[in-house]
Chains A and B, each alone.
Chain A
Amino acid sequence: MSNTNHVQNAVYTSLLPANKEERCYGMWDLIFVQICFGIAAWFFLTGSQAGMLLSAKEAIPTILAGNCVGIFFISFLSLSPSRYGCEQLTASVGVFGQKGSILMTFFFLIACYPALALATLMFGESAIKFVGVLFGDCFMSHEGFAVTIFALIALVGGTFIAWLGPTALRWFTRLSAIFMALILAGLIVYLFSYHGMDAVFHAKPAEPYTDADMGEGMGIKWSKATALEANLGLGMSWGFFFGGWTRLAKTESNGYHGCMWGWGVLAAVAGLFACFAALAIGKYDPTIWFVQVAEDTGLHILAAAGLILFAIANITSVATLVYPEAVAVKSRLPKFGWIPALLVSTIPVLFMLNNAVYYMVSNVYAFIGLVTGIYSAIIVFDYIFITRGKFRMREFFCVSKGYQYANGWNPAAIITVVVGLIVYLLILNPLTWTSLTGLFPYTTAIIPTFFISGILYTVLMKTWVLKKYKVPFVNDFEIEE
């Protein structure tokens, strides 16, 4: 490998800060990447779930507000990685401390695994329906083991694309974005020509919470709060991902807008049409819709084509998730090679390749929202009220002496993480979907957690940590003086 290639490789795998000449993503590149990232799996499932719980009139603003406002709250995360050319978790060293940022790397990974499982399982669901369309009823066309096998293939394929690096990824995502646009266009034509706009907008949700299960007048409240929590969780789930992309953005504005609109309102359009399809067809699983379209129209080629395009897009989604994950691992733990970093980012997913996970989208995104929401609150409030994005780059890479706080941990950030977890769990248990305090469904869990965490962090920093520890360019200017 030539010296130039070696250095370039180190930039793309995040060992080295990306300087101005190495920035390859403009705003539209980032929008394409993020649209593809979202459309393939996550937005389809959360949108579909909203359509199973709410009418179109309520589901549309829920999907838009959940995703757009959620990501707007955390959009400041894009700035420091653009400014310093460093990956998200490297740029977090100044906030969490050297050891604290490694804990956040672990948080990042555990937030990614279930999302990766959803994308690979969706590939698996597409694949078994495709087999069913081509060969009829057989072992590989049934849910269960066949989905797991196909999901495994998607995991390997997506990891391979991630291994190729950002240039290959950019071309895959552009291609995939075109595929998904075709699918969406086809779905829109089907929905409005076969079912009609009126039918979609007057359809009743197929599986809402009912008063019989939840108590008098509580069914609709649980339906609204559940749909909003899942979409807010999806909106905030991008927290750990900003830096992996915006460190390669050509300007801070490109990174800010490219990620926010790509992951926000533009990708949420897919969620809206997924919601309409769920309302019209009455099924949660998006891959069933293609089969339904083929049966309704008599054009079986549409089902095959749609499922292939959907499957390819899901593999690209896996790649766009694995790449920043591995970059984060490598940036905080450079002793890992690129391949081991990719493996750490993917192997635990093997234990989640089970059909049950595919049908737990609310739980998955509430859990992810919990983990990323607290992290994001700390970074955002730090940017606005504490550091204003002023960091000393050298200290990011000086493990023994840079950003030490208390032996490598910023106590304000760690206390905030613990309190944030407690606050969220008091409002909503994301695994059992029950509320210990009864506050859910009257409030979401993620919004109070986000603001309480951010305010607590700010108070602790101003009243305690900044009086006890020196932070470069914030309360420490000795060299300049």
Chain B
Amino acid sequence: MLPVEKLPIDIKGLTDQERKALEERIVEFEREHEPSTSKGGAGYVPYIRKGDFIFAGVINGAILIYYIIAVLLT
């Protein structure tokens, strides 16, 4: 992995002020959050919970079963 100094913020079209602000944010993210995100953890905001996926899966699974029974099996 390339060290930070070899990865310049070179996206085109930024003003000097924007480039400076972007650099500051990235440095702050690398310091505060990247140790966590690099291991699959939380970034700027709290991490999603497993229960969120389970809840969504149960509701959508029920809808899918309803479709199969009402449309495909008739």
Contacts and interface: CB of A to CB of B under 8 A. Distances in A.
Contacts of A467: none
Contact of B38 (A15, A398, A473): A473
B25 A16 contact: yes
B71 A224 contact: yes
Nearest to B6: A401
Interface residues on B, range: 35 or more
Interface stretch (A67-75, A151-159, A176-184): A67-75
A402 B4 CA distance: 11
A432 interface: no
A346 B17 CA distance: 29
Contacts of A68: 59-60, 63
B7 to A, nearest CB: 4
B26 to A, nearest CB: 5
Contacts of A107: none
Nearest to A481: B1
Given A252-B48, A253-B48, A390-B39, A401 B59 contact: no
A336 interface: yes
Interface in A221-253: 224, 228, 249-253
Contacts of A473: 37-39
Interface in B1-51: 1-4, 6-14, 17-18, 21-22, 25-26, 28-30, 34, 37-40, 42-49
A84 B7 contact: no
A72 B66 CA distance: 16
A193 interface: no
B11 to A, nearest CB: 5
A256 B52 contact: yes
Contacts of A252: 42, 45-48
Contacts of A389: 37, 40
Interface residues of A, number: 65
A19 interface: yes
A204 interface: no
A206 interface: no
A351 interface: no
Most A-side CB within 10 Å, residue of B1, B3, B22, B34: B1
A252 B4 CA distance: 27
B54 interface: no
A289 interface: no
A252 B66 CA distance: 29
Contacts of A72: 56-57, 60
A23 interface: yes
Contacts of A228: 71
A42 B21 CA distance: 38
Given A83-B42, A334-B18, 6 more contacts: A10-B21, A72-B56, A257-B56, A334-B13, A390-B37, A398-B8
Interface of B: 1-4, 6-14, 17-18, 21-22, 25-26, 28-30, 34, 37-40, 42-49, 52, 56-57, 59-60, 63-64, 66-67, 70-71, 74
12 contacts: A61-B66, A72-B56, A251-B46, A252-B42, A256-B48, A257-B56, A334-B13, A390-B40, A397-B9, A401-B2, A401-B6, A473-B38
List the 8 closest pairs (A to B, CB-CB), nearest first.
Answer: A335-B13, A83-B43, A65-B67, A334-B13, A252-B48, A72-B60, A61-B67, A61-B70
